[in-house]
Structure 1
Amino acid sequence: MSCDCQTGSVDCCSVSEEPRSSEMESKALTARVFNIQRYSLNDGEGIRTVVFFKGCPLKCPWCANPESRSIDLVNIRRESKCLHCDVCEQDVDECPSGAFEQVGYDVTVEQLLAEIAKDDVFYQTSGGGVTLSGGEVLVHGKFCIELLKQLKRLGYKTAIETSGHGNSKQLTEMANYCDEILFDFKMMDEKRAKAVIGINLEKVLNSFSALMATSCKVIPRLPLIPGFTLDLINVDKVLSFIAPYQLKEVHLLPFHQYGSSKYETLGMNYTMKEIPVPTKQEVDAIQRHVEAHGYQVVIGG
């Protein structure tokens, strides 16, 4: 920018025509979420507000939130509410029964902060806080970094859930503003993991190692999925990888069918429909095995 003043000093001309303050950058950022879940007792300590972001690069067949996979806005139809009329023409705004719903909406950092602040009393009384989940938070990396910064500035306890599949630099920057990171290990066979869920295992493991260089508490989590991860070979590969880091806690996440009905409303094929959930004996066996390696085990943390 040229200077028209008489002094021409650097200080005189140091103000940009387009200020780039943190506040302005925050206002310019938007992200797409599909749910804000209040009063959650999982996903971190105490009572949590969990923000679910839309968009995930993976294709896990057991995903309990299939509405999170695509970053696009989608409409769902709930058969139990549908009148099978021609009134709405599948338009969400005109559906007389509410059978058609839009999944996903865009928010700013400020709008999310306002929603989160509504639950202040629960954080204060329970030692809880805010957890960012998905989908995959790394799809909205810049937004989540700014949101976490603002949450810490306001004194909130913060956590994220991640598969580690994304921008590792953004992930480690998030760690600077998190009290804990819940890190999901999935399939530990590199070729099969790539073929089945589309994950780059080497990248994920490198991201975990990078987090270990930060001061943030990181908790490994192991989804227990029949036919994919519910076996001692996969569990032992996880335990072998995390062993050098001297962590104290591991969470086990047994497979469930809670999200199965969502697939039909989205018009998606659910290949896990006939897969039984793990028995108590199967989960107990994995728990004892992990505890034998010196870890405190939490089921469904």
Structure 2
Amino acid sequence: MFKKIFYILPLVAALGQPAAGQAESLANQLFGAKKEGSNQAAMPIGSYAKGCGAGQVALPETGPTWQAMRLSRGRNWGQPIMINFLEDLSRTAVSIGWKGLYIGDISQPRGGPMTSGHASHQIGLDADIWMLPPSRLNLSRAERETISSIPVRSSDQRSVTRNWTPSHHALMKAAASDSRVDRIFVAAAVKLEMCKTARASDKSWLQKIRPIYGHDTHFHVRLKCPPGASSCQTQKPTVEGLSNGGNGCDDTLKWWVTDYLNPPKVKNPPKKPKPTPPKRGPRQYTMADLPGQCKDVLAAQ
């Protein structure tokens, strides 16, 4: 009898604990499984690329001046301030001659890391807006899965295409001029063109337009942490001089379409450092990597 107990006890203990080395559940799988927002007060929690969103609400799939695209992804959710901003900007789009906006990914119902795509969009304050001016605002769900936006940047990444129009400029200027907006990510060639064509006496808003790779078929709007959002981590300016009134229309911008695309050769390059383990990205995060409040967001009704 003693021998039977001796062998059974370790088995019972093992059932109550994860096996040694067993991985924790990935945060993106847990948040990706949620289909509704949490019944909590609205609050962006953590940073844009490491956090979650309490009390998020859905952008209606179709409105008088917008349509949400790629509905199968379930990413038409965001903080109330973001939903209000998108509705406001879609009305602005009508005033410049568009029928409205096609709106891409915002966030998952409770934010958090995504199972595919974005590293950010985690706290409900990021949204992708298509460069494609809507032809109509009664697209079916099926059409929204198959229709694609248009590139406004050339294939060599150095200039804009004929798809870029003054109305695109006007729309992005309106977005950047909104006090709720922190920054807008676009292809570098787009910002170069905007710097060339903006009025010399009115370029301060261009500091919010930030060049980044990709982003040729949409522009990515990021809002500031809302007033009173104590759990939201704001960002500092990432371009030299922007905090002192610069607009980023300088040699730093030109780097994106020169050295970034065609790095200069170095005669005596330094020895390559020893390889280091790759950094863990959002799709490797567990709940332990996120702010503690995210557990409450996940568990809330």
Normalised TM-score (structure 2): 0.25
Q: Which has the higher strand share?
A: 1
Q: With CA pairs under 8 Å and 6+ residues apart, which has the higher RCO, 1 or 2? A: 2
